[in-house]
Amino acid sequence: MSTDTNVTSETSAAPWAFEGYEMVVGLEVHVELATRTKLFSGSPNRFGDEPNTNIDPVTLGLPGALPVLNRQAVELAMKIGLALNCTVQPCTFARKNYFYPDMPKAYQISQYEDPLNVDGWLDLPDGTRIGIERAHMEEDAGKTVHAGASGRVHGAEHSLIDLNRAGVPLVEIVSRPDMRSPEQARQYVSELRAILLAVGASDAKMEEGSMRVDANVSVRRPGGELGTRCEIKNVNSIRSVGRAIEYEAKRQIVLIEGGEAVRQQTRHWDEGDGKTHTLRDKEDADDYRYFLEPDLVPLVPERSWVEAVRSSLPVLPSARRVALAEAAGSAPDDESIVTIVDRGQDAYVFAVVDAGGDVGRAVVHVQQAFAEFDAAPPVPAGDLAALTTLETGGQLTATQAKTVLAVLVDRGGGDPAAIAAEHGFEAMDTSELEAMVDEAIAAQPDAWEKFRAGEGKAMGALVGHIMKASKGQADGKLVSQILQQRKG
Amino acid sequence: MSEYPTALQIAEGVRSGDLKAVDVVEQHLTTIADTDGEIHAFNHVMADEARERAAAVDATVAAGGDPGPMAGVPVALKDNMCTRGVPTTCSSKILAGWLPPYDATVVQRLTAAGAVFVGKTNLDEFAMGSSTENSAFGPTRNPLDTERVPGGSSGGSAAAVAAGFAPVSLGSDTGGSIRQPAALCGVVGVKPTYGRVSRLGLIAFGSSLDQIGPFTHTVADAALTLETICGHDPGDSTSIPEPAPEFSAVLDRGVDGLRIGRITDLPEGADPDVVARTDEAFAALESAGATIVDVEVPAFTYGLTAYYLIAPAEASSNLARFDGVRYGLRVDGADVEEMMRNTRTAGFGDEVKRRILLGTYALSAGYYDAYYGKALKIRRLMAEDFAAAYQQCDVLLTPSSPSVAFPFGSKTDDPFAMYLCDTYTIPANLTGDPAMSVPFGDGADDLPVGVQIIAPSLGESVMLQVAAELERSAP
């Protein structure tokens, strides 16, 4: 889970560049829709059941079976499109023909020439706008398990096919090649996932395969002609999205710098060795012989239906980040804001504020203490509000407040003042602190000399000493103020 | 008219208690046992199931109930319609051993109407052919002359009615596969409007063209069967959301005031005897009060070409599922791809392979626009030309087949000559319009000639009205 939920800030917002090249990245994201039944039949759409139990004549591709479009799937697909600012349009289904043992009809029903959703966009938390070319419906294939040996095709004695997933509704969201760094790609996937969860279209679990990312990567001199692209498959976590793209872009740059051409290929990301490997060259690609699916009729969503779906959309993460950031006086892409909205805890923060709490302290506590909780943390908003009031009133230090909050979490709430009293937390007066500072200087003369000489780091040793002596009750901020004053 | 009892007579007798369904069925099973060894209309006779069903129908009557408008009527089914637990082969080796786990919608509807299935009939493999010579299980013989073909692809169903094995059979018509064998066997054959009859459970050949319809001795029996099998099915997305009209009500209306279109630019190639009978049919209708109107349908000529791109294209995709993985024939190989190749090589006959190749080619990158794309344009033109013709007339009349039944082997070495059998029937598949063949006198060698009536979309009633007049005035 943790790999999926958070955009780690290991890279800065600085543009990615290597040997004077930039990367050009577009992502194709497949998501399984959270429908009750499959896209074209009544079998349950459920992950994790006994193999080959959620099947029927349509799923099996039996002779004479016919597809019937699932209305709920269309509705969820529209939600995705509308949340991504797409135009919802009349659309058609096509057959994509290819032989594969887990593809029962030997064709996939997909939208080709006229997809349901076109021409939208997604804004990253930092405001970068990524174009969405299309978001179309299609059916999933089954799963092939290679038995024996390594679990891969080579060395397998036989293969087993599970058709539970065959016919599960997918939406493929195709971005424009608007991303220029691994960080942007990660943010895009993270933001897209947040939107999917917010509108309830998918559970978007990359580890269960209900959200799958393929990356189209090419490199070029900034502003130059687009380079030849490679498609990277098997990118199964948000972390891998960044790693795979980074690796692939560098691989292409090294090729070009070595005087070789990049070949248009489909490549496989190997999480183990951290490299991409050739799956197939463009010239070996299948000819899918697309044509209109004659077993289905064009889908023309009535205007009233589209508008009803549009008005049912919840407030999306980007708008919620702006609202929370405004209230907290920070930027929408501040890590704490992004994290809280990601977890769906922004409404809780507002509840704390409504109960008279301090928004800044509430944001800090919610981000730090509620990581393992979902939208509804176990501490009543009023109790957290009371806690922040004690802090801002100077009755509790930040460290003490943390301790009290831990107790509140354990007990599922309570009176913060009473808990503080149980722990003997009282605000130390300044003279007491001054004495402790004197004692620390006497005990650590070396550190004091260094600190006086301007070595900021040396303050840590002195503060640590005081914290230890006060059993954590000293207000760290006040201590450093006193130290600065003494230094003169 | 035929010497056999009609479906209407049987149903009336069974419902009134004058006839026992078990007796009716036994008589038909006896006829089948006596002569189907020679005719080979059936791939599979459902004797036990039929006796059981007939007994149940009789029991319903005995208990004072009504088994339905087709009570006790023996029905033969083309062997490309799924029947639960009963072999369904498409006359192909590739479906060897497969038992469908469900009934086609038409099977459910006929069962609900009291009909009794007596067997599954032979066809050109996967309905690809015009003589039933492409069956993997051997050809069906024409009951009127056993040295000749019954037509195809629904040759078994047409022969089953002509031979008295059942008063009603169902066929499927993708390019003429009901109307052409109906003409060659001297029976009535109807292809309803595309979408009138559910395709659910019909094993697809060309999905945008396939339509199920009946073979009968009489127009009235055809109307009765259509009333049973037509109507909306939510299980088929291309099914038209319209209830089945009461077709039987129009049969006595005559043709006074109707305008019958004669296509002046109809492709040539019909034999003189066929042309002569068709002219007589126009004359008969005119003397019954209809007006004959000359119309042009320029795209008619291009129908065959367009069809032999569109139908194979769809077939190449529809038949891809027969890969040996899940059901039917499997011929092992070193790996899964070789297994698929071996299975399909052994399982499909030459004509099926020819059409899969044609269709795959027509859809391939670089060829799509020149072949499949152009064929779709002709299809649109065809619809426009027919719509213009319908501005001037109520129905169109043409020959059903360019010739009467032909001898075995006379066209098997020349696929194109075989394809020409469908010249007159194909356009109605491309437009989706209803069309039917009704016997109208004999041609060469005293073999029957069928004339085709084509009507606008959902115009089955007026089509049957004209057919009933031709039936009354046939020589």
Domain harbouring B195, CATH code = 3.90.1300.10
Name the maximum alpha-carbon separation found in chain A.
91
Out of B88, B199, B320, closest to residue A66 by CB: B199
Contacts of A68 in chain B (CB under 8 A): 234-235, 237
Give the CATH number of the domain where residue A444 resides.
1.10.10.410
Residue A181: CB partners within 8 Å, gap ≥ 6?
Answer: A11, A15, A16, A23
Query: Which DSSP letter does residue A49 get?
Result: P
What is the rounded CA–CA span in Å between residue B349 and residue A410? 74
| Residue A56 vs residues A34, A224, B237, B452: alpha-carbon distances, Å | 19, 52, 17, 40
What is the rounded CA–CA span in Å between residue A107 and residue A17? 41
The active-site residue out of B154, B177, B198, B316 is B177
How many CB atoms within 10 Å of residue A4?
Answer: 17
- Residue carrying the six token digits 């009127």: B144
Do A332 and A321 meet the contact criterion of CB atoms below 8 Å apart?
yes
Is A282 within 8 Å of chain B by CB? no
| Residue A309 vs residues A92, A121, A171, A198, A306: alpha-carbon distances, Å | 20, 18, 17, 14, 5
Give phi and psi for A154, each to the nearest 5.
-70, 130
Q: Confirm whether B419 is domain-assigned.
A: no
Best residue in B95, B99, B209, B325 to probe A by mutation, most A CBs within 10 Å? B325
Please, which pLDDT band fits residue A155 given cuts at 50, 70 and 90? low
What is the rounded CA–CA span in Å between residue B416 and residue B351? 11
> Which tens digits make up the pLDDT trace of A32-49?
999 999 999 999 999 999
* pLDDT over threshold 90, residue B402: yes
How high is the pLDDT of residue A428?
A: 66
Pairing status of strand A143-147 against strand A158-162: antiparallel
Strand partners, A29: A173, A213
At position A237, the amino acid (one-letter code) is S
* pLDDT over threshold 50, residue A3: no
For chain A, helix (H) and strand (E) counts, in that order, are: 17, 14
Q: Does residue A411 sit in the same domain as residue A447?
A: no
Q: Which domain holds residue B117?
A: 7-246
* pLDDT over threshold 60, residue A103: yes
What is the rounded CA–CA span in Å between residue B463 and residue B434? 8
Residue A360: CB partners within 8 Å, gap ≥ 6?
Answer: A328, A329
Question: What average pLDDT does range A370-388 have in this prediction?
Answer: 91
* pLDDT over threshold 70, residue B241: yes
How much is the CA Rg of chain B, to the nearest whole Å?
21
Q: Which domain holds residue A344?
A: 317-422
How high is the pLDDT of residue A145?
A: 86
Do B359 and B310 meet the contact criterion of CB atoms below 8 Å apart?
no
Say whether B238 and A64 touch across the interface (CB within 8 A).
Answer: no
Closest residue of A to B206, CA-based? A294
Q: Which of A103-107, A333-337, A452-456, B338-342 has the lowest mean pLDDT?
A: A452-456
Please, which pLDDT band fits residue A150 given cuts at 50, 70 and 90? low
Q: Which of A73-77, A93-97, A281-285, B85-89 has the lowest mean pLDDT?
A: A281-285
Say whether A296 and B340 touch across the interface (CB within 8 A).
Answer: no
Whether B78 is catalytic: yes
User: To the nearest whole angstrom, how far is the Cα of B82 from the nearest Cα of chain A?
Assistant: 7
* pLDDT over threshold 90, residue B2: no
A204: closest CA among A215, A214, A190, A216?
A190
In the structure encoding, which two tokens stand for residue A448, read together?
């004091």
Among residues A312, A343, A364, the one where a domain terminates is A312
* pLDDT over threshold 80, residue A261: yes
Do B444 and B196 meet the contact criterion of CB atoms below 8 Å apart?
no
Please, which pLDDT band fits residue A455 given cuts at 50, 70 and 90? confident
| Residue B284 vs residues A162, B278, B451, B466, B474: alpha-carbon distances, Å | 63, 10, 12, 11, 8
Question: What average pLDDT does range B200-223 have in this prediction?
Answer: 98
Question: What average pLDDT does range A200-205 have in this prediction?
Answer: 95
What is the rounded CA–CA span in Å between residue A200 and residue A314? 9
How many CB atoms within 10 Å of residue A475?
Answer: 19
Q: Does residue A323 sit in the same domain as residue A307?
A: no
Q: Does residue A73 sit in the same domain as residue A156?
A: yes
Q: Which residue would you say has higher pLDDT here, B326 or A478?
A: B326
Q: Confirm whether B270 is domain-assigned.
A: no
Say whether A62 and B323 touch across the interface (CB within 8 A).
Answer: no
SS3 call for A360: helix
What is the rounded CA–CA span in Å between residue B292 and residue B257? 10
* pLDDT over threshold 60, residue B440: yes
* pLDDT over threshold 90, residue A157: no
How high is the pLDDT of residue B433?
A: 98
Whether B153 is catalytic: yes
Q: Confirm whether B319 is domain-assigned.
A: no
Q: Does residue A396 sit in the same domain as residue A466?
A: no
In the structure encoding, which two tokens stand for residue B125, read together?
């493999």
Q: Which residue would you say has higher pLDDT here, A232 or A420?
A: A232
User: To the nearest whole angstrom, how far is the Cα of A163 from the nearest Cα of chain B?
Assistant: 11
- Residue carrying the six token digits 């012989």: A289
Contacts of B88 in chain A (CB under 8 A): 63-64
Count structural domains, chain B.
1
Q: What is the mean pLDDT of chain A?
A: 90
Question: What average pLDDT does range A380-395 have in this prediction?
Answer: 91
Question: What average pLDDT does range B31-43 have in this prediction?
Answer: 98
Please, which pLDDT band fits residue A5 given cuts at 50, 70 and 90? very low
Say whether B238 and A161 touch across the interface (CB within 8 A).
Answer: no
* End-to-end CA, chain A: 50
- Can you state the angle between helices B21-39 and B7-16, rounded to 10 degrees? 150
* pLDDT over threshold 90, residue B74: yes
Whether B177 is catalytic: yes
Q: Which of A124-128, B133-137, B220-224, B468-472 has the lowest mean pLDDT?
A: A124-128
Q: Does residue A300 sit in the same domain as residue A186?
A: yes
Q: Does residue A197 sit in the same domain as residue A250?
A: yes
Q: Does residue A236 sit in the same domain as residue A347?
A: no
Virtual CA dihedral for B338, B344, B346, B348, nearest 10 degrees?
Answer: -170
Count structural domains, chain A.
3
Q: Which residues of B touch A (CB under 8 A)?
A: 81-82, 88, 90, 95, 98, 100-102, 104, 199-204, 206-208, 234-238, 313-314, 316-317, 320-321, 323, 325-327, 336-337, 340, 360, 363-365, 368, 372
What is the rounded CA–CA span in Å between residue A65 and residue A60? 9
Best residue in A43, A59, A60, A66 to probe B by mutation, most B CBs within 10 Å? A66
Q: Does residue A37 sit in the same domain as residue A186?
A: yes
How high is the pLDDT of residue B98?
A: 96
CB pairs under 8 A between A and B: 95
Is A69 within 8 Å of chain B by CB? yes
Q: Does residue A445 sit in the same domain as residue A408?
A: no
Please, which pLDDT band fits residue A4 given cuts at 50, 70 and 90? very low
In the structure encoding, which two tokens stand for residue B61, read together?
């009557």
Please, which pLDDT band fits residue A7 given cuts at 50, 70 and 90? very low
* pLDDT over threshold 50, residue B413: yes
H/E element, A267: strand A265-270
Q: Which long-range contacts (CB under 8 A, 24 or more apart) does B19-23 make?
A: B19/B72, B20/B54, B20/B58, B20/B72, B21/B53, B21/B54, B21/B55, B21/B57, B21/B58, B21/B61, B21/B67, B21/B71, B21/B72, B21/B116, B22/B51, B22/B54, B22/B55, B22/B58
**CA A326 to chain CA mean position, Å:** 22
What is the percent of chain A where pLDDT is above 90? 69
How high is the pLDDT of residue B180?
A: 98
